[in-house]
């Protein structure tokens, strides 16, 4: 783990800078909506423009093809397979009869001779000065100041090829298509513009209404401070898609409030724990009872130990103090045994490192310093609870590590309090601050491990199960 000074420096270097600008969700959505509407409107206008440009020609071709099909379908032939009349609907028949200058059909043989014509003319439609040829199926002719649209189509009857020519004048086509088509086009354009404006207004009003809960939440969040951690964001009238965000913020506030209360309780308890030895030392000095300096040194050593444990606990509680790397739990046990060798001799307790469940030595991802502190505290706790002549057995592999002592075990009522701060077991033979197991719990939680305590056949058993996924 890093020292507090290093941790502060690291925290300072990675602190996120404040954003220089903030994006408005409402403005962003409105801009996207406006862009989509603009593109959609442009596409609609483009389609209408293409319809205005190419639509009349397409309608003319469709009309000529339809008329040609009707004429071919209604043709009647005599015994010599010569067409002599057409049977078509009354409407088209009247047009051919009355509008001879604007609506005409002509039936031609393979040589281009006119066999039947609605206007009685025996000449086929062709380019001026050129004979008839079926190659250009679509002609646009200028005759006597009038524009004529002609379609030539081949068909077969009785094993012979025939041609039908259908003509419509420009003025007749305009009468059919012009006026209503133009009005319909302008109505479509105006309707599209009005719909786009109405849609934009509806989007703006809807966004203003939907963002009200966010504005209320922002105002509520602005009132939350260290003296008002119980306040929470209301999820009333909040859209379903944003509700999980509000719940997550409220859960974060719950954790923040819980952590603040724990730290406040911890500071109060730590002050009480340090106040008692200081009061005793002050009383001894004021009464002049300082002849035995060994007692004062013991009190000073106990206070120094408490202060050191408080610093270690504070450091273990900060996740950014950890530097993860491949570490051997067997090596951590060996280091802890070496550090507490003199204490084991004083307690007359034997420490035995059991054989590893796997060889070569297992490696886990952990902070080496934190793992060493955890092993040292667990071993020290076992030594203080073991009777003279007892044995403490240590095990470690890639899945777990454990420590077993031969003491009186853990009382049933004490099990829930083992990892609480400043809690001391009744059978402990030292005057520690009751922080060792709390430090172990903090280190295990920071690594994603699980630490448990229970009673074995002889004495207590503490076990830390590693979580590879963490």
Residue 384: both structure tokens together:
């203080």
Give the Cα separation of 458 and 390 in Å (integer). 10
Are 147 and 156 within 8 A, CB to CB?
no
Instruction: Kindly state the greatest CA–CA separation across the chain.
Output: 152
CA nearest to 124, candidates 82, 167, 93: 167
Residue appearing with tokens 């319909």? 184
Give the Cα separation of 343 and 332 in Å (integer). 17
CA nearest to 163, candidates 233, 106, 232, 226: 106
Residue 343: both structure tokens together:
């204490």
One digit per residue, the tens of pLDDT, for the chain of length 470 reads 654 443 333 333 333 444 444 556 667 677 777 777 777 777 777 776 776 666 667 778 888 898 899 999 999 988 888 898 888 888 888 888 888 888 899 999 988 899 999 888 889 999 888 888 888 788 888 888 888 999 999 999 888 899 999 998 888 877 776 655 566 667 777 877 787 787 778 777 777 777 777 787 778 777 777 777 777 777 777 777 778 888 888 888 888 887 777 677 666 666 666 666 677 677 766 666 555 566 667 667 666 766 766 666 666 666 667 788 898 999 999 999 998 999 999 999 999 988 755 456 678 888 888 898 899 989 998 998 899 999 999 999 889 999 999 988 888 888 888 888 767 665 554 555 677 888 888 889 888 899 999 998 888 999 999 975 44
Bridge partners (DSSP) of residue 142 are 147
C-alpha distances in Å from residue 12, one per residue of 20, 84, 322, 343, 470: 19, 102, 16, 40, 26
Give the Cα separation of 447 and 373 in Å (integer). 13
CA nearest to 159, candidates 228, 52, 66, 81: 81
Question: What pTM does this model have?
Answer: 0.46
Half-sphere exposure of 135 (CA within 13 A, CB side): 4
Are 143 and 169 within 8 A, CB to CB?
no
Residue 364: both structure tokens together:
């886990």
| DSSP class of 41 | H
């Amino acid at each position: 783990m890093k020292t507090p000074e290093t941790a502060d420096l690291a925290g300072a270097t990675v602190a996120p800078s404040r954003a220089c600008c903030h994006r408005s969700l409402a403005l962003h959505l409105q801009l996207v909506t406006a862009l989509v509407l603009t593109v959609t409107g442009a596409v609609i206008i483009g389609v209408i423009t293409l319809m205005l440009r190419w639509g009349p020609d397409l309608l003319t071709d469709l009309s000529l093809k339809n008329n040609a099909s009707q004429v071919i379908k209604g043709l009647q032939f005599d015994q010599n397979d010569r067409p002599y009349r057409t049977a078509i609907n009354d409407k088209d028949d009247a047009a051919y009869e009355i509008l001879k200058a604007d609506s005409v059909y002509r039936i031609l043989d393979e040589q281009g001779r006119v066999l039947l014509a609605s206007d009685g003319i025996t000449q086929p439609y062709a380019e001026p000065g050129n004979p008839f040829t079926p190659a250009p199926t679509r002609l646009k002719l200028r005759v006597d100041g009038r524009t004529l649209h002609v379609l030539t189509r081949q068909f077969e009857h009785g094993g012979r090829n025939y041609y039908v020519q259908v003509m419509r004048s420009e003025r007749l086509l305009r009468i059919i298509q012009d006026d209503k088509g133009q009005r319909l086009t302008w109505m479509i354009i105006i309707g599209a513009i009005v719909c786009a404006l109405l849609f934009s207004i509806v989007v703006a009003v809807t966004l203003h209404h939907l963002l009200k809960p966010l504005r209320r939440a922002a105002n509520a969040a602005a009132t939350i401070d260290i003296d008002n951690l119980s306040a929470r964001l209301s999820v009333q009238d909040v859209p379903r898609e944003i509700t999980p965000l509000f719940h997550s913020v409220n859960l974060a506030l719950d954790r923040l409030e819980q952590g603040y209360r724990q730290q406040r309780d911890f500071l109060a308890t730590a002050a009480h724990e340090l106040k008692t030895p200081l009061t005793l030392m002050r009383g001894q000095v004021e009464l002049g009872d300082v002849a035995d300096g060994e007692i004062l040194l013991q009190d000073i050593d106990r206070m120094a130990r408490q202060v050191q444990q408080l610093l270690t606990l504070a450091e273990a509680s900060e996740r950014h103090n950890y530097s993860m790397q491949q570490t051997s739990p067997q090596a951590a046990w060996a280091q802890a045994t070496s550090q507490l060798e003199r204490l084991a001799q004083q307690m007359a307790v034997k420490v035995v490192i059991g054989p590893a469940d796997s060889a070569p030595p297992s490696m886990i991802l952990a902070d080496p310093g934190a793992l060493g502190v955890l092993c040292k505290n667990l071993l020290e706790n076992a030594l203080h609870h073991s009777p003279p002549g007892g044995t403490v057995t240590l095990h470690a592999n890639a899945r777990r590590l454990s420590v077993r002592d031969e003491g009186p075990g853990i009382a049933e009522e004490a099990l829930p309090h083992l990892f609480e701060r400043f809690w001391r077991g009744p059978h402990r033979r030292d005057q520690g601050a009751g922080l060792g197991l709390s430090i172990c719990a903090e280190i295990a939680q920071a690594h994603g491990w699980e630490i448990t305590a229970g009673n074995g056949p002889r004495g207590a058993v503490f076990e830390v199960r590693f979580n590879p996924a963490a």
